[in-house]
Structure 1
Amino acid sequence: MAQDGDKQSEEPQVTLYTLEDVRKRNTAKEIWLVIHDRVYDITKFVEEHPGGEEVLFEQAGADATESFEDVGHSIDAREMLNQYYIGDLHPDDCKNQGKKVSILIHYSFRVPECDISLSWSSWLIPAVAVVILGFMYRFYTVDSRSS
């Protein structure tokens, strides 16, 4: 008969890495990077990256969240990250630790307890597009009335 103390927790233990740990993995033999406070070992993926190796080498050993989001990766690319996931960034190294943001992500990966910084392009580009469409609509409706 098992006691409560003998039961294993249902959630697997997550390995925590510091930014210093990630910075040390910045060689051709071992490349780690951080995206949304999750640590990935992308060593085996470097040659397969559609954007070329150079892009990954520039981000190696650092937090690549902003660059990853600015490119606008597809859902498939986000799901592909799961196979390279090795742990979470230590909470002391998370950006904006004091401000918790809860975001529902539909990309099938768990978000660590750290913040997620949203890219400016995720809201600015659609806002500019709406303004331009509004002006175009206004221009064409005024132009057609004067004819």
Structure 2
Amino acid sequence: MGSETKVYTLAQVSEHNHSKDCWLIIGGKVYDVTKFLEDHPGGDEVLLSATGKDATDDFEDVGHSTSARAMMDEFYVGEVDASTIPSKTKYTPPKQPHYNQDKTSEFVIKLLQFLVPLIILGVAVGIRFYTKSSA
């Protein structure tokens, strides 16, 4: 008789989240990496920060070697029940406020309220200066 594969929930795997007892989920499989923490080339903090979640993306993003992947077999303890892992939420950017045409006209009005008196003042000073110099 072959040995049956143990199946763990995310909650069960999440309990193993410290340096004396560290389990990771990678590719739907559960690994007890406790003995490997001090030998991990990236340091133990990297592994400890990947506990309590599906660490597949973290593992793949680093680009582990073939020998690193082969080494994983000795840490294998079972499978994770995929239904207990929350589905990945796709990033949706925050909604941008709609461009409001009215704000543009408000801005133009304020600008004109400021510029028109300046233009009138400029013209008045110009006329005054022009009439004084020609007299």
SS of corresponding position for 2:42? coil
TM-score (structure 2 length as normaliser) = 0.60
For residues 8-38 of structure 1, give each alpha carbon's deviation from its aligned partner in whole angstroms, at most 9, with x where no partner exists. Answer: 3xx4310000000011111221000100000
> For the aligned residues, what is the CA RMSD?
1.6
- TM-score normalised by L of structure 1: 0.55
- Equivalence for 1:89: 80
Pairing of 1:4-15 with structure 2 (within 5 A): 8=1, 11-15=2-6
**Corresponding residue for 1:131?**
none
CA distance in 2, matches of 1:64, 1:55: 11
d(CA) in 1 for partners of 2:15, 2:73:
22
Unaligned 5+ segments in structure 2 are 88-135
The answer to whether the 8 A contact 1:31-1:61 is kept is no
Question: Identity of paired residues, percent?
Answer: 45
Q: How many aligned residue pairs are there? A: 87
Mapped partners of 2:4, 2:70: distance in 1: 21
Secondary structure of residue in 1 paired with 2:21: coil
**Bigger-Rg structure (1/2):** 2
Gaps of 5+ in 1: 1-7, 97-147
Corresponding residue for 1:16? 7
1:72 alignment partner in structure 2:
63
- What is the Cα deviation at residue 92 of structure 1? 1.9
Q: Which residue of 1 aligns with 2:116?
A: none
